[in-house]
Structure 1
Amino acid sequence: MKITETKIDVRYAETDQMGVVHHSNYIVWCELGRTKLIKELGFDYSDLEAAGIVSPVINIDLDYKFPARFGESVTLLTWIDSYDGLRVVYGYKINNQNGQICAHGSSSHVCVKKESFRPVSIKKQLPQWHEVYEKNKKSN
């Protein structure tokens, strides 16, 4: 199983009036990690879009455990939690610089044709992605 590590410096603009990272920013960070993981697996999401395929989020689930604050650095771990040839579930864990878990969770995605939003079988339409995702998904 491949795990990508993304370092993020918490910016002031990402915090709320309580001085902690606003919950919406964690979702943006997950996207950074997901894009980095895809790149480290040898692919580029923009190539997928150029082929007329997009991969929308169909579910996201994040548990917030400990606040990240301005001036801190966090580390985002990203991996393929499950994959079945059609649906991909990415896993995430965000730790602060002291090793405390700030958030963890997952997002589910499918591939669809950009024009019609009709589902696309990754296994059939993107065999190279399928092979790499099978090889790198979490072993249960």
Structure 2
Amino acid sequence: MFPITINITPRYSETDQMGIIHHANYLIYLEQARLDWLSQLGFSYVKMEEAGVLLPVYNIDLKYKNPIKFGDEISVKISLKSIPTTRVIFDYEIVNQKNQVCAVCELTLVFTDAQTFRPRKPIPEFLEACKKLLNT
């Protein structure tokens, strides 16, 4: 399902007073992985927006398993869960250098018309690329 993995070195500014990466930063790491995934597929948010499509977040189911600490090196794995409809769903896994799972997430975006803000189907080129990834 075309999973990709990116490596991230969390910055000190992303920690709380205890030296633990603040939970809100996990969303930034997920977005960074998603942008890389789209890029490797040959797309970008810019390309989607030029086609009149916005992709707001609909749902985030993020489960924290182990803390990420300052000095950790993490890997974020992202994969497409299913063929996009008006929604596209991604699965994520964040692991540290000890291969401990720090978080798992299912994140849903909605394809939205940039003019009307109503749900719409994905652009055909994106849909076809996703179908090829999932061999359907």
Report the TM-score, using the length of structure 1 for normalisation. 0.91
Partners of 1:29 and 1:83 in 2: CA distance: 23
Q: Is the CA contact (8 Å cut-off) linking 1:60 and 1:108 kept in structure 2? A: yes
State, as a whole percentage, how many aligned pairs show the same letter.
Answer: 38
Q: Is the CA contact (8 Å cut-off) linking 1:7 and 1:75 kept in structure 2? A: yes
Partner of 2:110: 110
Q: Is the CA contact (8 Å cut-off) linking 2:84 and 2:127 kept in structure 1? A: no
Q: How many residues align?
A: 136
Residue deviations 1:65-110 (CA, integer Å, cap 9, x gap): 1111111110000110123422110110000001000001111011
Partner of 1:60: 60
Match of 1:63, SS state, is strand
State the AA in 1 paired with 2:132: K
Match of 2:36, SS state, is helix
**Mean CA deviation greater in 129-138 or 90-99:** 129-138
1:30-49 equivalence runs, <5 A:
30-49=30-49
State the AA in 2 paired with 1:96: N
Report the TM-score, using the length of structure 2 for normalisation. 0.93
**1:22 Cα offset (Å):** 0.7
Partners of 2:84 and 2:42 in 1: CA distance: 19
Displaced runs of 4 or more, over 4 A: none
Partners of 1:6 and 1:43 in 2: CA distance: 17
Q: Is the CA contact (8 Å cut-off) linking 1:78 and 1:91 kept in structure 2? A: yes
Partners of 2:30 and 2:86 in 1: CA distance: 20
Q: Is the CA contact (8 Å cut-off) linking 1:81 and 1:138 kept in structure 2? A: no
- Structure 1 residues 87 and 4: CA distance shift in structure 2, 3 A: same
Pairwise CA RMSD: 1.6
State the AA in 2 paired with 1:129: F
**1:137 Cα offset (Å):** 4.2
Q: Is the CA contact (8 Å cut-off) linking 1:79 and 1:138 kept in structure 2? A: no
Partner of 1:6: 6
1:1-140 equivalence runs, <5 A:
1-122=1-122, 126-137=123-134
Q: Is the CA contact (8 Å cut-off) linking 1:81 and 1:137 kept in structure 2? A: no
- Structure 1 residues 3 and 31: CA distance shift in structure 2, 3 A: same
**1:113 Cα offset (Å):** 1.4
State the AA in 2 paired with 1:114: A
More strand by share: 1
Gaps of at least 5 residues in structure 1 are none
